[in-house]
C-alpha cells in the first residue's frame, strides 16, 4: 500500500501542502474549519506522519533513548513503566535498548541514540567505567542516570537510598540476635554493589559486631551464580546464621543453596533481600526485603529529564528515593 503524502492530501482538500502541514502539526495560520476539513481528509486517506522526515526538519524527534542492563528483570521493568508512562503523558516515546552488561554494546547504543536524534537520554549503565563516564558526561543531549551516580560530574541522577535500606536490614537482623551475618553481593563491577557492601560493613561496626565473623562473597548477579556463591560461603563459614543479599534475585539463589544443603529458612539461616519484587511474596517462606519504589523512580527520572530538555537547572542534582524494610517470614 503506497504511502499517502502531504501533496495528495492537499490536492484532495484544494489547498497547498504547506497548509496541510500547518493543519496536521497544529501550527496555526489557518482557520479552524480548514484545519478540521484537512484532518478529516487525512484520516479518511489513512495518512501516517513521517516522523523521521519531521525530525530532520525540526531537529526534534520526540524520542527518549533509554538504556538498561537487562529489561527481563523485574526491577528494571517496573522502572521502565514509570519512565514510559511519564514520557507518554508529555508527548514523548521511548526507544529501549538492552546493554546486556557489555561495555562495547553500551557505547554503540549511545552512538545509535545520537544518530536517531533522541531529545533526551535515561541511562542505567552496567559498570563504573571511566571511559563510559567521560562519554556520557560529554554528550550534548540532556541525560538522567538511574541507579547510578558519577561523582565529580554534573549529571542528574535518581537512586534508591541504598544506605538507609541496608541499615534497616542489618538492624533487623541484629535485633533478632544474629551476629554472624554473611553478605552475598552483586557484580564486582557495579557501583551499587560497593555502596551496599560499604553500608553493610559500616552498620555492622556501629552495632559492635566483629566483621571477622561476617564473610562476604560476590557473584555475577544471576540466580544461578548466587546459588553457587551462597553455597560456597556457607560451606566455608558454617557459623553464619543469616544472609544479607544484594538483591531479591540473589536471595532466591541463596534460598536454593540453603535448602539443598538441608537447612531451613529462617530456623537455620535467615535471609534478607533488596528490591521487593513481586516474587518475594510468593517464594516459601516469603522474603523479608528492602522495598524500592521502582515505578516512582522511573517517573521521577523522566520528570527530571523533561526539565533538563526545557533548559531548566536541576536542583538538587540527585534524588534519593526512600527505601523501607518489608518484614516477612524469611528473617
Contact predicate 320/160, CB 8 Å: yes
Q: Which three cell numbers stand for residue 257?
A: 543453596
Residue 54 pLDDT: 53
- What pLDDT is attached to residue 327? 97
Cα dihedral 103→108→112→118 (10° resolution): 30
Nearest CA to 327 out of 266, 254, 268 is that of 266
Enter the CATH code of domain 6-49.
1.10.260
Cβ 251 vs Cβ 287: under 8 Å: yes
Q: Compute the distance between CA of residue 86 and CA of residue 92 in angstroms, rounded to an integer.
A: 9
Nearest to 123 by CA among 132, 240, 194: 132
Name which of 36, 190, 180, 222 is nearest 125 in CA terms: 190
Question: What CATH number does domain 162-293 carry, 3.40.640.10, 3.40.50.2300, 3.40.800.10, 3.40.50.300?
Answer: 3.40.50.2300
- In terms of phi and psi (left: phi > 0; alpha: psi -120 to 50; beta: otherwise), the region of 313 is beta
Where in the chain do CATH 3.40.50.2300 domains reside? 63-160+294-321, 162-293
The CATH 1.10.260 domain(s) of the chain lie at 6-49
Record the pTM: 0.79
pLDDT mean for each 10 residues of the chain (331 residues) = 76 87 78 87 79 52 86 82 93 88 85 88 79 83 89 89 96 95 88 91 92 91 92 95 96 96 95 94 96 95 94 89 96 94
Q: What is the DSSP string of 42-68?
A: HHHTT----HHHHHHHHS---EEEEEE
- Alpha-carbon Rg for the chain, nearest whole angstrom, is 25
Fold type of domain 63-160+294-321? Rossmann fold (3.40.50)
| H or E element in which residue 170 lies | helix 162-175
Per-residue pLDDT, 56 = 47
Amino acid at each position: 500500500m503506497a504511502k499517502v503524502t502531504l501533496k495528495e492530501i492537499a490536492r484532495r482538500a484544494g489547498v497547498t501542502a504547506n497548509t496541510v502541514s500547518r493543519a496536521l502539526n497544529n501550527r496555526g495560520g489557518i482557520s479552524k474549519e480548514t484545519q478540521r476539513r484537512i484532518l478529516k481528509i487525512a484520516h479518511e486517506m489513512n495518512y501516517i506522519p513521517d516522523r523521521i522526515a519531521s525530525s530532520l526538519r525540526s531537529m526534534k524527534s520526540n524520542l527518549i533513548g533509554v538504556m538498561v542492563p537487562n529489561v527481563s528483570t523485574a526491577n528494571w521493568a517496573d522502572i521502565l513503566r514509570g519512565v514510559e508512562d511519564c514520557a507518554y503523558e508529555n508527548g514523548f516515546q521511548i526507544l529501549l535498548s538492552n546493554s546486556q552488561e557489555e561495555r562495547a554494546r553500551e557505547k554503540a547504543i549511545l552512538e545509535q541514540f545520537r544518530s536517531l536524534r533522541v531529545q533526551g537520554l535515561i541511562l542505567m549503565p552496567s559498570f563504573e567505567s571511566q571511559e563510559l563516564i567521560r562519554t556520557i558526561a560529554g554528550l550534548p543531549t540532556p541525560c538522567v542516570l538511574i541507579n547510578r551516580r558519577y561523582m565529580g560530574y554534573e549529571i542528574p541522577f535518581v537512586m534508591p537510598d541504598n544506605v538507609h535500606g541496608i541499615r534497616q536490614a542489618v538492624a533487623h537482623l541484629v535485633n533478632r540476635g544474629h551476629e554472624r551475618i554473611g553478605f552475598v553481593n552483586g557484580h564486582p563491577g557495579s557501583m551499587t554493589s560497593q555502596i551496599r557492601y560499604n553500608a553493610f560493613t559500616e552498620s555492622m561496626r556501629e552495632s559492635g559486631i566483629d566483621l571477622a565473623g561476617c564473610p562476604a562473597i560476590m557473584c555475577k548477579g544471576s540466580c544461578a551464580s548466587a546459588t553457587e556463591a551462597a553455597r560456597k560461603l556457607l560451606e566455608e563459614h558454617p557459623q553464619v546464621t543469616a544472609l544479607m543479599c544484594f538483591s531479591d534475585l540473589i536471595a532466591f539463589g541463596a534460598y536454593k543453596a540453603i535448602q539443598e544443603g538441608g537447612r531451613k529458612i529462617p530456623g537455620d539461616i535467615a535471609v534478607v533481600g533488596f528490591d521487593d519484587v513481586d516474587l518475594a511474596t510468593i517464594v516459601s517462606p516469603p522474603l523479608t526485603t528492602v522495598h524500592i519504589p521502582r515505578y516512582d523512580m522511573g517517573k521521577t527520572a523522566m520528570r527530571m529529564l523533561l526539565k533538563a530538555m526545557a533548559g531548566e537547572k536541576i536542583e538538587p542534582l540527585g534524588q534519593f528515593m526512600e527505601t523501607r524494610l518489608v518484614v516477612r517470614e524469611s528473617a
